[in-house]
Amino acid sequence: MKEMRNTTIVVAVTLALAVTAACGKKKVATGPQPPPAEEAPVVTPNPPAPTERVEDRTPVAQPLADESITNKSLDDLNRDSPLKPVFFPLDSAELDETGRAIAQANAGVLKKYSAWGITIEGHCDERGTAEYNLALGERRAVAVKTYLSSLGVSPDRIRTVSYGKEFPFDMGHSEDAWSKNRRGHFVITSK
């Protein structure tokens, strides 16, 4: 799972670079570019080649990726966050291999942007009572914080909160929805 995810990220970045290079100054955009895709489904195997219609539009200068992140507002940063959620197994507050890999990637981002302060929100799926899930979410948030600390991210930059099952990411009632809701969600709170 970890390897697959890493592979798709590499593919995504490569394709994005290739498209950018191919477009050159003819590359057109009407607004800020979104950061590189991080979710596998975004990338199609065969991105369409630039067409003639692209050349009809006016080129717009784009800031480099790093500047784009630094200049973004907190809301914009969090809307398309470089910090990915860490998912948990059912009724567990232990990071599995996939979770640790995501946390490691997040730790890398946090080391790069060392001024950022974050809150880690512990969330749960709808199974389990509201009260129990507050405790479980608390343990999930703390587990992520502890792991990030072990990777060298200062705990002083990290606050934790449990939202229990109050704020599901996916409102569905399926295994798929539940798996998305058992998460440590990262929020950038200062920069």
Judged by the rule CB under 8 A, the positions of this chain that interact with other proteins are 75, 78-79, 91, 93, 119, 128-132, 134-136, 138-139, 142, 159-164, 166-167, 169, 187
Q: Which CB, 27 or 137, lies closer to other proteins?
A: 137
Helix residue ranges per DSSP H, the chain: 2-23, 52-55, 65-71, 74-79, 97-112, 130-150, 175-181
The total of other beta-carbon atoms located within 10 Å of residue 184's CB is: 29
For the bound state, the minimum distance from the C-beta of residue 85 to other proteins, rounded and expressed in Å, comes to 11
For the bound state, the minimum distance from the C-beta of residue 13 to other proteins, rounded and expressed in Å, comes to 24
Gap between the Cα atoms of 77 and 79, Å rounded: 5
Gap between the Cα atoms of 11 and 119, Å rounded: 30
The total of other beta-carbon atoms located within 10 Å of residue 125's CB is: 23
Q: Which CB, 136 or 153, lies closer to other proteins?
A: 136
For the bound state, the minimum distance from the C-beta of residue 73 to other proteins, rounded and expressed in Å, comes to 10
For the bound state, the minimum distance from the C-beta of residue 78 to other proteins, rounded and expressed in Å, comes to 5
Q: Which CB, 59 or 117, lies closer to other proteins?
A: 117
